[in-house]
Amino acid sequence: MKKIYQNIKKTVTPAVILVCVVLMLLSLFAYNLVFYQFSTDATGYTMVTAVSSEEAGEQTDTSSKLYFSYDNNQISLNTMSNQDASAATLYALSVNGITEMTADNMAVMSPDYLGSFIATLPQQTADLDGDGSSETLYLAAKTDMEFTQGYRPTPPIFDHELFPLEIIFTDRTTLNVLFEGEPLADQTVTLTSQRSGTSQVTTNSAGGIEGVSLLDIRSGIAVTYAADNGDNVYQMSYQVEDNTLFSSRYLAAMTPFMIIVLLSAIGIILCLWLRRRIVKKDPVMGRFANERTSLGPVGTMKGQRKFGFMTLRWLTMIISFFTLIYGGKLLGQWVNAIEIPIFACPINQDQLIASSCYTLAHLNTLVNLSWSEIGIFLASLLISIVVLGRFICGFLCPLGLVQDLTHEARQGLKIEGLPLSEKLYRQLKPIKWTMLLLFLGLSFVGGNFCDICPAITLSPAFAGFKVSLFLGGFFMIVVIIGGFFKRRFFCNICPLGYLIGLGHKFSLFRIKKDCQACTECGACYEACPMGIKTIYTEREETDVTTADCIMCGECIDKCPENKALSMSFSGLKFYRASRKTFMSGHKKSEKKLKRFIRKREKNESDQK
C-alpha cells in the first residue's frame, strides 16, 4: 500500500506543477485558442431594405419613420414615410472610417465593419406641426450590433457632418444625444419608445437622457429634435441588437455550452472507464480503489431531509442564478455603479448588476473611471465583502450552482468521487496560487483573464449572447469534470473567491464552534468541500471561519452534536448543528446500508 501511494505521489506532484506551468503559458495566448467561434464581426449578417412598414411587420408607431429591425442574422431597414427604404443611403462604421454600403457589401458584409450602421433618407419638406409653414425633416436610423456592446466600450460615433443628430448608447447603460458633434445639452427632445410611447424629455448637461429603461432601449427608440426655431427637424431612430429568449437565435447562442456539457460527459465516462481498467488489471490497486472510493453498486447514501436551511440554500442559489443572468432582461434595470465580487460574467450585457471580477482582473480600467465611479466601485466591493464575505460563493455564485448540480448528478448516478485527503488539497494549492497570479497579473502584461475564465461559457450563453469561447471553454470542461468527482472543485482554486476570503476577519457571516460540545469525530471535515481541517481540530477558539470557507453550511448539516457548530450573522446564530436533524435525515440511508451489507455478505458466501 505504501508503495502504491508513493507511485501516485510521484505522478501527481509533477502533474500539478505541469498544470500550473501550462496554465501560465496558455493564458498569454488564450485569445488565439478559440474553443467555439461565433462570428464576432458583421460577416455573418446580411442587410436588406423593406418597401414599407407592412412588410417589416415590427414597428407600428408612425412617429418613427425610418428604423432598423433584426430577424436572426438579417438586418432590415424599414420606412414608414412616403418614401420606401430603397431610397435610403446606408453607411457602415469600419476600421477605415465611414463606408457607404452598396448592394454587394450588404449581401456579403465586409469583415472591416465595426458593427454600427446608419441610414439616411433625402430631406423632406412638410408642415410637421400644423402651423401653416413648412419645416425641413432630416430622417436617420442607427443600429449597433451585439458585439459592439463590450464591457466599457468606446462608443461608436459617426461623422456629424453627415449625421447632425446622433444617438450614442454607451456601456449598455447611458443614452446620449449628439448634435453637430457636441452633446445636445439641456435641450427638450421628443423620445419615442416602441414599448412606452412618446414623451417630452430634457437632456442633461452631458447630452444624456436619464431614466430610460433598458427594456425601452432594447425594444427600439427614436429621438426628435427641432432646431433653428423649429425650421429644421432632425429625427434618428435607434435599435440595438436584442436577444429574444428561447428563440432559435437563443438556442444557437446556447450551442457552445451544450457542446461543453457533451464533451464533459465524454470526459467523465473516460475517467470512469480508466478507473475500471485500473481496478480490473491490478488486483492490489483494485482492492485499494474499492476501499478508498467504494466502487460498488451502492454509491453515496443520501437520506430524505425535511425543508430547512439546506433547502433554502438551494432555493437562494437558483434564484440568484436567474436574477443575475436574466435580471436586466426581465426587469429592465441595470444597477451599473454597484459591483459585487462574483463570477457573473460582464459579457452578459443584460445582467441586473455589474460584476467586479472584471475590474479586479483589469485594474488598468480604474484609470479611465471618474473619481465618483471609483468610489462607488470600492465602496460596493468592500461592503459586499464585509456584509457577505464568501457567503457569496456558497449562496449566490452561478458557477457554484453548476458545480453543485454536477455533484448531485454524480450522487444520483450512485458514483463515488475522489477520495478526499489533506494531500489532495495540498496538491490543489499551487494551482490556486497560479490562478490568483493570472487573475491579478495578466492585465499588466497585455493579457485578459476573461479569455481563460470558465464563467464566460455560462452567463452569456444562458442570456442569449453569442460569444467566442477561448481557453475558458476548455477550462469549463475541466471544471465540470473536476466538479463531478470532487465537490466544488473550482472553488478550491477560484482566485476571486480567495480574494473575498481575505476579508473573512471582517465579514458579518461567521462559523462558530462550541469546543466543549465537539467530540472531534471529523464529520465536519469529511463534509467540507474546501477541506478545512481546523474546523474540527480547533480546541480553543470559537470562531473557526477561514479564508477558504464558502459558508455552504455542510459542516453544520453533517455535525451529529447539538450546537457544536453554528452559523451566525453579526453575532446572531441562525443555523445550529442538531443531533435530531442529523439522525432523522439518515434513517433511510441506514436501512439502505443494512440491505447492501446483507446483499454483499450473501454474494461473498455464494462465491465461497
Helices (H), 111-187: none
Nearest to 75 by CA among 100, 109, 110: 109
List the grid coordinates of 517. Answer: 460540545
Query: Poorest-confidence range of 290-299, 383-392, 571-580?
Result: 290-299
What the block records as the C-alpha cell of 516 is: 466543549
What span, in angstroms and rounded, lies between the C-alpha atoms of 171 and 184? 19
In this prediction, residues 309-315 reach a mean pLDDT of 91
**What phi and psi values does residue 69 have, to the nearest 5 degrees?**
-145, 160
Residues 6+ apart with CB under 8 A from 132: none
C-alpha to C-alpha distance for 178 and 181, rounded to whole angstroms: 6
Where does residue 287 fall: left (phi above 0), alpha (psi -120 to 50 degrees), or beta otherwise?
alpha
> Residue 585 has which C-alpha cell?
435525515
Question: Residue 299 gets which letter from DSSP?
Answer: -
Q: Which of 146, 177, 170 is nearest to 156 (CA)?
A: 170
Q: Exposed, middle or buried by CB within 10 Å (0-12, 13-18, 19+), for 104?
A: exposed
Query: Does residue 491 have a pLDDT over 90?
Result: yes
For residues 449-454, average pLDDT: 89
H-helix or E-strand spanning residue 420: none
Residue 451 DSSP one-character state: G
For the record, the C-alpha cell of 204 comes out as: 442633461
Q: How many CB atoms lie within 10 A of CB 212?
A: 19
Cα separation, 225 vs 560, whole angstroms = 71
CA 87 to each of CA 37, 50, 52, 459: distance values in angstroms, whole numbers, following the listed order: 36, 10, 12, 41
- Name which residue leads in pLDDT, 501 or 215: 501
Give the separation between CA 141 and CA 65, rounded to whole angstroms: 9
Q: Report the range of poorest mean pLDDT among 78-92, 289-303, 339-353.
A: 289-303
Question: How many Å apart are CA 366 and CA 152, to the nearest integer?
Answer: 11
What pLDDT score does 56 carry?
Answer: 41
Q: What stretch of H or E contains 568?
A: strand 565-569
Using CA atoms, how far apart are residues 123 and 104, in angstroms rounded to an integer? 25
Give the largest Cα separation in the chain, rounded: 109
Instruction: Give the range with max mean pLDDT: 125-139, 146-160, 380-394.
Output: 380-394
Is it the case that residue 44 has pLDDT exceeding 90? no
Strands 46-49 and 66-71: unpaired
Output DSSP code: residue 36.
Answer: B
pLDDT of residue 303: 46
* Neighbouring residues of 256: CB distance < 8 A, sequence distance ≥ 6: 35, 36, 38, 457, 461, 467, 469, 473
Mean pLDDT over residues 307-321, rounded? Answer: 90
- Cβ contact 343:399 at 8 Å: yes
Q: pLDDT confidence of 54, banded at 50, 70, 90?
A: very low
Q: What is the pLDDT of residues 330-384, one digit of tens each?
A: 776 666 667 888 888 877 877 778 788 888 888 877 777 778 888 888 999 999 9
pLDDT band at 83, cuts 50/70/90? low
The cell numbers describing 598, all together, are 446483507
For the chain, give every domain's residue range: 6-35+306-501, 42-240, 509-577, 584-608
The model's pLDDT over 558-596, given as tens digits with 9 standing for 90+, comes to 898 888 999 999 889 999 988 877 776 555 555 555 665
**Between 255-281 and 283-293, two packed helices, what is the crossing angle to 10 degrees?**
130
CA distance 360 to 335: 18
Q: Give pLDDT, residue 511.
A: 93
Instruction: Over range 320-334, report the average pLDDT.
Output: 79
Confidence of residue 313 (pLDDT cuts 50, 70, 90): very high
Return mean pLDDT, the chain. 82
Average pLDDT over residues 450-476: 88
* pLDDT value for 284: 54
Q: Which of 283-292, 416-425, 503-512 is modeled with the greatest confidence?
A: 503-512
Q: What's the distance, CA 592 to chain centroid?
A: 40
The residue with greater pLDDT, 149 or 478, is 478
Cβ count within 10 A of residue 134: 12
Cell of 94: 469600419
Q: Which of 288, 256, 261 is nearest to 275 (CA)?
A: 288
What's the pLDDT score for residue 604? 60
Q: Which fold has domain 509-577?
A: Alpha-Beta Plaits (3.30.70)
Best mean pLDDT range from 254-263, 325-334, 366-375? 254-263
By CB neighbour count within 10 A (0-12 exposed, 13-18 middle, 19+ buried), where does 274 fall? exposed
pTM: predicted TM-score of the whole model, two decimal places: 0.82
Helix axis angle for 398-412 and 471-485, nearest 10°, is 40
Indicate whether 607 pLDDT > 60.
no
